[in-house]
Amino acid sequence: MEKVFDFKKRSLSFARAINVYVRNLPLDIPNRENGKQLVRAAGSIGANYIEADDCLGDRDRLMRLRISRKEARETLFWIDLTEPHKQFINEKISLMCETDELLRILSAILNKEEK
């Protein structure tokens, strides 16, 4: 996955990569259910970040950023629960690393804005 520095574009690219990853999971019950949650959480990272830019005030912006960070944490959880085919293990690891980076970026933004 190419590194993009615009967080909106990066989170959209990430959500698309998650969609591809979930489409390639084995079709068993745990992967189906965990995959649904993963798609929702991963998409919510960017959606809440976009909402933060169109906020009603500083408190609303901070809340949206916190929700985005919370969704990034949740995304890590759901990725960890998925069991991909062996050829997609590296993709799982890559997505977990990207999620961690998104989480760190959001934490840095929040730390700066909460001061």
Six token digits for residue 83: 């069991």
Q: Is residue 37 part of a domain?
A: yes
Separation CA 43–CA 71 (nearest Å): 9
Separation CA 104–CA 82 (nearest Å): 22
Range of the domain at 84: 7-113
Six token digits for residue 12: 């959209």
Q: Is residue 2 part of a domain?
A: no
pTM above threshold 0.95: no
- Which amino acid, one-letter code, is at 24? N
Separation CA 27–CA 107 (nearest Å): 34
pLDDT digits (tens, 9 = 90+) for 39-84: 999 999 999 999 998 878 889 999 999 999 999 999 999 999 999 9
Query: Total structural domains in the chain?
Result: 1
Q: Is residue 17 part of a domain?
A: yes
Which CATH number characterizes residue 49's domain? 1.20.1440.60
